[in-house]
Amino acid sequence: MNELEMRQHDAVAAQALVDVLVQVYLDAHAGDGAFYNEERYRQQLAGHMKVAGWTLLTAEVDGHLVGYAYGFPLSPKTRWWEGIRGDVPPDFTREDGHRTFALSELLVRPAWQRKGIARALHDKLVESRPEKRLTLLVRPDNARAQEAYRAWGWKKMAQLHPAWEGAPIFDVLMCAEFTGRR
């Protein structure tokens, strides 16, 4: 593999990348069902990019975007936890804008998967965060992602069924290595 270049972008800089971000998303989710469509993802991305502290980390090889990760700190009024299921501590969903970073997307184009790119994106983004804990959502049937996240120190805490039309149920993972690191 040629040299991997990673770059961090804020929401303003990322506006110019939206079309290619959507294409990577569609490539990565090809065959995953009707929920993973362009219109819904453009709405999700536009909404997430408005969140204070939103950050994008891109991975390029020879000037081509092959993957990315993005996320944001959860605000006190976040809707992230709506639809949570399971026995979680009473203050588990309490947010203050500095407590939890939500890793919303970690995507790599299929032709570039299994080359360490997702891990490189994950590690660089996670290590840059000052929040006390990190969370993400992953489908229970996504065995490859589940296996990778477990190997990287993430632990299942609950499940969540978002109110989005056609949304699947997700496992709520917390990064055990970084949970409570402050």
Domain spans of the chain, in order of start? 4-175
At 136-177, the pLDDT tens digits run 999 999 999 999 999 999 999 999 999 888 899 999 999 855
Taking residues 19-30, what's their average pLDDT? Answer: 97
Taking residues 37-43, what's their average pLDDT? Answer: 96
pTM recorded for the entire structure: 0.92
Distances (CA, A) of 62 to 15, 59, 140, 149, 182: 21, 10, 34, 27, 38
What architecture (CATH level 2) is domain 4-175?
3-Layer(aba) Sandwich (3.40)
CB 160 within 8 A of CB 169: yes
Taking residues 103-125, what's their average pLDDT? Answer: 96
